Amino acid sequence: MKNSEEFRFKIVVIGDGAVGKTSLIKKFTKGTFETDYVKTIGAQFSKYNKEINGDMIRLMFWDIAGQEDFNFLHHLFYKETKAVIIVYSLEENDLGKNSFTHIENWYNQLNKYCSGIPVLLFANKVDLVSKNEINKAKIQNIVKKYNFFEYFTTSAKTGEGVIEAFNVIIEKLYFKYKQLSTNG
Ligand code: G3D
Ligand code: MG
The model's pLDDT over 126-148, given as tens digits with 9 standing for 90+, comes to: 999 998 999 999 999 999 999 99
- Using a 6 Å cutoff on CB, does residue 160 contact ligand 1? no
Do residues 86 and 14 touch, judged by C-beta distance below 8 A? Answer: yes
CA of 117 to the centre of ligand 2 (A): 23
The predicted pLDDT at position 138 comes to 97
* Structural domain boundaries, residue 171: 6-182
Q: Which atom of ligand 1 is nearest to the CA of 64?
A: 2
Residue type at 131 in one-letter notation: K
CA of 64 to the centre of ligand 1 (A): 14
Residue type at 169 in one-letter notation: I
What ligand is nearest to the CA atom of residue 16? 1
Across the chain, mean pLDDT equals: 93
The answer as to whether 1 is a domain residue is no
Q: Could you give the CA distance from residue 107 to residue 21 in angstroms, rounded to a whole number?
A: 16
**Residue 184 predicted with pLDDT over 80:** no
- Using a 6 Å cutoff on CB, does residue 99 contact ligand 1? no
- Using a 6 Å cutoff on CB, does residue 127 contact ligand 1? yes
- CATH of residue 31's domain is 3.40.50.300
The answer as to whether 140 is a domain residue is yes
**Residue 95 predicted with pLDDT over 60:** yes
Q: Which atom of ligand 1 is nearest to the CA of 15?
A: 3
The answer as to whether 48 is a domain residue is yes
- Using a 6 Å cutoff on CB, does residue 159 contact ligand 1? no
CA of 18 to the centre of ligand 1 (A): 6
Q: What is the DSSP string of 129-172?
A: S-GGG--HHHHHHHHHHTT-SEEEE--TTT-TTHHHHHHHHHHH
The answer as to whether 154 is a domain residue is yes
pTM assigned to the model: 0.95
Share of the chain above pLDDT 90, in %: 78
Identify the residue whose C-alpha is closest to ligand 1 atom 17. Answer: 20
Q: Could you give the CA distance from residue 155 to residue 164 in angstroms, rounded to a whole number?
A: 12
Which has more confidence, 34 or 103? 103
The answer as to whether 80 is a domain residue is yes
The answer as to whether 144 is a domain residue is yes
Count up the domains in the chain and report the number. Answer: 1
Q: Could you give the CA distance from residue 30 to residue 12 in angstroms, rounded to a whole number?
A: 17
